[in-house]
Amino acid sequence: MARFNVESELGSMVNSSVNQARSNVVRNRTVRNTVLYILGTLLLFGAAGYLGHLLIRSLPGETPGFWGYLAVLTIVLLLGVWNISILPKAMPSMKADNYMIGTLMTLLIGIIGGIAIFTLSFGPRMLHITDVQELKANVRPLITTVLIFPLPYFINWAYVAYDKIPPKIYKLWKYNPFLQMPDLTEAEFRRTTNVVFVTDIRHGERNTYDIRSFIPDKMNVGDGFQFSLDEHNEDEPTRRIEVRDAKNPNVKTNIFKWHFYVQRPWYRTNLYIDPDRNCRENFLQNGVRIITRRVG
C-alpha cells in the first residue's frame, strides 16, 4: 500500500509539473506568437506553392512554368513586405532596431517557407493528386522563390540606416534677437526670391511646417529666415516656432543654432546653404524648399 501511495504521489507530481510547464508555455506570449507565426508561414507558403502548381497545370501556351513561377515569386515578395510590418507585432520582445535578430528571424521564416513548398511535393494523396511526378516537377522548382523573401527586409534595413545618417553641416546660423531690418530701397525690396522654409514647431518633432517667404535679393538667407520666423510667430501665437531651448534657463546660451540645405534626389548631393549669403549667391531659385534643422 505504501508503495502504491508513493507511485501515485510521484505520478501526481509529474503530471502537475507537466501541466504547469504547458500552461506557462501557452501563456508565454513570445512562444505562442512564434508558434503561430511558424504555422502561418507553413500555410501561406504551402498555399503559394499549390497555387503555382495549379497555374502551371492550367495556363495555356508554351511557357506555363515561367508564368507560374513568376506568380509565386510575386506572392513570396509580397509576403516578404508583409513580414516587415507584422514581425515586430508578432515578436514584441524583439526590439525594432535589433536587425541582427530580425535578419535571423526573417531567414528562418524563409527557410520554413521553403520547407513548406518542398513538403508539398510529398502530399499528393492529401491534395487528391494522382500524378505524383507532375506535382514534384511543378512544385520543387518553386522552392527557389523563397530566396527573394528576405529582400524587402534588407531594403527596409538599408533605408532606415540611410535615413539615420546625419546630414552634413557646413555653416550654422543663430537667431539674433537684436536683428534690424536692413536699409534697402523700395526697388530692392521688390526684387525677391520666393522660397519655402521647411521647419518644425518644436525641436525634435517629426511633423514639418512650411513657411513661404519672399526674400529680397540683397538680403542674406539667414536674415530672411529670421524675419519669416518673427512674422509667423506674431501671426500665429498658438503655433510659435521655438528659437530657444526650453530646457536651458540661461537666456544667453539657450538660443538654437540652425543649418539649411536643399534636399535633392538620392543620386545627387544635397545643396548646403550659407546663411550669410543671399539667394543668388546660394544658387536658389523661385519655389525652392529649404530644409531647416536645429542643432541641439
Instruction: Identify the structural domains of the chain with CATH numbers, from first to last.
Output: 2-163 (no CATH), 173-295 (3.10.20.90)
Judged by DSSP in three states, 175 sits in coil
Choice among 51-65, 74-88, 172-186, 269-283 with the minimum mean pLDDT: 51-65
User: Minimal CA–CA distance to 56: which of 125, 126, 145, 116?
Assistant: 145
Assign 10 a pLDDT band (cuts: 50, 70, 90): low
The C-alpha atoms of residue 28 and residue 32 are separated, in whole angstroms, by: 6
The C-alpha atoms of residue 87 and residue 80 are separated, in whole angstroms, by: 10
Q: What is the pLDDT of residue 21?
A: 52
Q: Is 113 exposed, middle or buried (0-12, 13-18, 19+ CB in 10 A)?
A: buried
pTM: 0.52
Assign 52 a pLDDT band (cuts: 50, 70, 90): confident
Cell numbers placing 202: 518644436
Assign 2 a pLDDT band (cuts: 50, 70, 90): very low
Q: Average of pLDDT values for 86-91? A: 80
User: Minimal CA–CA distance to 197: which of 230, 164, 159?
Assistant: 230
User: Minimal CA–CA distance to 176: which of 127, 236, 243?
Assistant: 243
Q: Exposure string (b/e) for 283-294, b if CB count within 10 Å is 16 or more?
A: ebeeebebbbbb
The C-alpha atoms of residue 276 and residue 260 are separated, in whole angstroms, by: 11
Of 167 and 45, the structure prediction assigns the larger pLDDT to 45
Whether the CA torsion 112, 118, 122, 124 is positive or negative: it is positive
Give strand pairing partners of 199. 209
User: Minimal CA–CA distance to 88: which of 98, 78, 79, 80?
Assistant: 98
Judged by DSSP in three states, 271 sits in strand
Other C-beta atoms closer than 10 Å to the C-beta of 142 total: 28
**Cβ neighbours for 141, distance < 8 A, ≥ 6 positions apart:** 65, 69
The C-alpha atoms of residue 245 and residue 253 are separated, in whole angstroms, by: 9
